[in-house]
């Protein structure tokens, strides 16, 4: 049994002091039990995220109570994993969640996930994945019930230096508006070849999927949404990716790839015409082409770890003027260093570029400033169950907007303690 609790209160922010504050609270109980041939896991969580719609762009004398928002969430999980026999392993997971806000927005969802792996030869196995999701969303004047069922069987095998996966994904789902319920079938094909075993390999894959969009997934990405959202899933009709990856002496690793994808009903955020401090979700109903380049380089020397990632994406939108609030370039650097067993340092550097937004006051496109954010965190572990930490955030004190009208918080620091039971 384990207990986790978190309280984070940032009382003031970048706009009108406490009008842009935020707070996050969470408490979670975890349970684990070893059975004869399986393991049972369960957890229950409650969280509350409080914030304000402070992107009111220069308005004066805005009452704090008129722009407050909070999200509360209850989540319960139960999972069972084990081996039915030496060749067959399985995992079953059941989740119930309920999310609600102060404007009568509410979403409850039941999700069942299942996975089975049958090893019928030394280098060959069959994998089956099943997902059933039943979300229900409501606000002050509407209620929508949707369903999502996905089954993905695949055969995986190795012949010499060649590894391949032959599978498909079958999805039957409904949306709140627009698309009729129907069966979709996607390819799930991949192959990799070891050019130099353990050091260098080339790979490619051809896949598709129906990406679930829910009120919860949207508010996790952008909590400043208005409360009248049409929920549609995004159809990734196909994705082709090819690349190379390698590892030299378990010290230097790399992964470089290029991709072409085609999406229908890709979702974008833009400021609402009725209230620019809140965001609407817009979809491009056309089949749009998305080109991408991805690279990652890792370095590990004793207690030092570093990871540098770059992602470039070109969105070929057709029914929208721009790919609103989607970045074309992301660079991230993660560095960690452990000094003996008690002191850990972490450095994160983020760069995001190419963000475009629409100023609803004059219907003009706004190119948002590039984001550069440097953070440093230190943890001192008194024991396995107790530690102190200090986080220094936005060390450059950069003034940027991830979403139009929402200024970032400048340099700030957080200090506290962690304890596990």
Is 375 within the bounds of a domain? no
Is 169 within the bounds of a domain? no
* Model confidence at 176: pLDDT above 70: no
Is 42 within the bounds of a domain? yes
Q: Identify which of 247, 158, 156, 122 has the alpha carbon closest to the alpha carbon of residue 197.
A: 247
* Model confidence at 181: pLDDT above 80: no
Show the CA angle centred on residue 111, arms to residues 106 and 112, nearest 5°. Answer: 165
* Model confidence at 178: pLDDT above 60: no
Determine contact, residues 92/78, Cβ cutoff 8 Å. Answer: no
Average pLDDT of the segment spanning 270-291: 93
pLDDT band at 57 (very low <50, low <70, confident <90, very high): confident
Is 379 within the bounds of a domain? no
3-state class of 157 per DSSP?
strand
Q: Is the pLDDT higher at 44 or at 9?
A: 44
Show the CA angle centred on residue 143, arms to residues 142 and 145, nearest 5°. Answer: 150
User: Residue 179: its pLDDT value, please?
Assistant: 59
Alpha carbon distance 12, 387 (integer Å): 26
Alpha carbon distance 115, 146 (integer Å): 23
Average pLDDT of the segment spanning 215-239: 94
Question: What backbone phi and psi angles, to 5 degrees, belong to 397?
Answer: 50, 45
Q: For 96-100, 174-178, 381-385, 411-415, which range has the lowest pLDDT when averaged over its residues?
A: 174-178
Q: What is the DSSP string of 215-247?
A: HHHHHHH-TTB-S------EEEEEEEEEEEEEE
**Residue where the block lists tokens 């994406």:** 313
pLDDT band at 341 (very low <50, low <70, confident <90, very high): confident
Is 357 within the bounds of a domain? no
Alpha carbon distance 374, 262 (integer Å): 34
* Model confidence at 273: pLDDT above 90: no
Is 233 within the bounds of a domain? no
Number of domains in the chain: 1
Alpha carbon distance 130, 92 (integer Å): 9
Is 295 within the bounds of a domain? no
pLDDT tens per residue across span 94-141: 999 999 999 999 999 999 999 999 999 989 999 999 999 999 999 888
Report the relative pairing of strands 412-419 and 162-173 from DSSP bridges.
Answer: unpaired
Give residue 63's domain range: 1-67+79-85
* Model confidence at 180: pLDDT above 80: no
| pLDDT-above-70 percentage for the chain | 99
Is 236 within the bounds of a domain? no
User: Residue 385: its pLDDT value, please?
Assistant: 80
Which residues are CB-neighbours of 84 under 8 A, at least 6 positions away?
Answer: 37, 90
Q: Identify which of 331, 330, 340, 342 has the alpha carbon closest to the alpha carbon of residue 307.
A: 331
End-to-end CA distance of the chain: 8
Q: Identify which of 116, 106, 199, 103 has the alpha carbon closest to the alpha carbon of residue 153.
A: 116
pLDDT tens per residue across span 379-398: 999 988 888 999 999 999 99
pTM of the model: 0.92
Q: Which two tokens stand for residue 157?
A: 């095998």
């Amino acid at each position: 049994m384990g207990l986790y609790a978190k309280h984070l209160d940032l009382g003031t922010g970048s706009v009108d002091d406490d009008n842009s504050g935020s707070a996050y609270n969470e408490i979670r109980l975890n349970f684990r039990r070893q059975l004869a041939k399986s393991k049972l896991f369960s957890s229950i969580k409650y969280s509350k995220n409080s914030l304000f719609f402070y992107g009111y762009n220069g308005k004066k004398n805005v009452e704090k109570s008129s722009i407050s928002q909070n999200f509360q969430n209850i989540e319960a999980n139960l999972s069972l994993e084990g081996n039915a026999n030496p060749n067959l392993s399985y995992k079953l997971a059941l989740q119930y969640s309920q999310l609600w806000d102060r404007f009568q927005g509410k979403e409850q969802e039941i999700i069942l996930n299942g996975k089975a792996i049958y090893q019928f030869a030394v280098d060959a196995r069959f994998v089956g994945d099943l997902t059933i999701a039943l979300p229900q969303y409501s606000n002050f004047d509407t209620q929508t019930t949707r369903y999502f069922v996905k089954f993905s069987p695949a055969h995986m095998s190795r012949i010499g230096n060649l590894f391949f996966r032959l599978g498909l994904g079958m999805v039957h789902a409904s949306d709140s508006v627009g698309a009729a319920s129907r069966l979709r079938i996607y390819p799930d094909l991949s192959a990799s070849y070891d050019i130099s075993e353990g050091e260098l390999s080339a790979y490619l894959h051809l896949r598709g999927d129906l990406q679930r969009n829910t009120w919860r997934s949207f508010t996790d990405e952008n909590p400043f949404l208005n409360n009248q959202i049409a929920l549609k899933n995004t159809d990734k009709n196909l994705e082709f990716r090819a690349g190379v990856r390698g590892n030299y002496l378990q010290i230097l690793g790399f992964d470089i790839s290029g991709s072409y994808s085609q999406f229908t009903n890709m979702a974008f955020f833009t400021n609402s015409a009725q209230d620019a401090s809140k965001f609407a979700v817009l979809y491009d109903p056309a089949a749009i082409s998305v080109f991408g380049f991805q690279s990652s380089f890792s370095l590990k020397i004793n207690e030092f770890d570093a990871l540098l990632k770059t992602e470039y994406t070109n969105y070929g939108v057709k029914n929208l003027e721009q790919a609103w609030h989607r970045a074309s370039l992301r660079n991230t650097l993660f560095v960690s260093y452990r000094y003996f067993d008690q002191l850990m340092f972490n450095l994160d550097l983020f760069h995001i570029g190419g963000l475009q937004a629409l100023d609803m006051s004059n219907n003009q496109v706004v190119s948002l400033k590039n984001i550069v954010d440097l953070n440093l965190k230190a943890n001192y572990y008194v024991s396995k169950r107790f530690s102190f930490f200090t986080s220094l955030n936005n060390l450059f004190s950069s003034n940027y907007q991830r979403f139009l009208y929402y200024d970032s918080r400048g340099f700030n620091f957080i200090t506290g303690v962690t304890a596990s039971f």
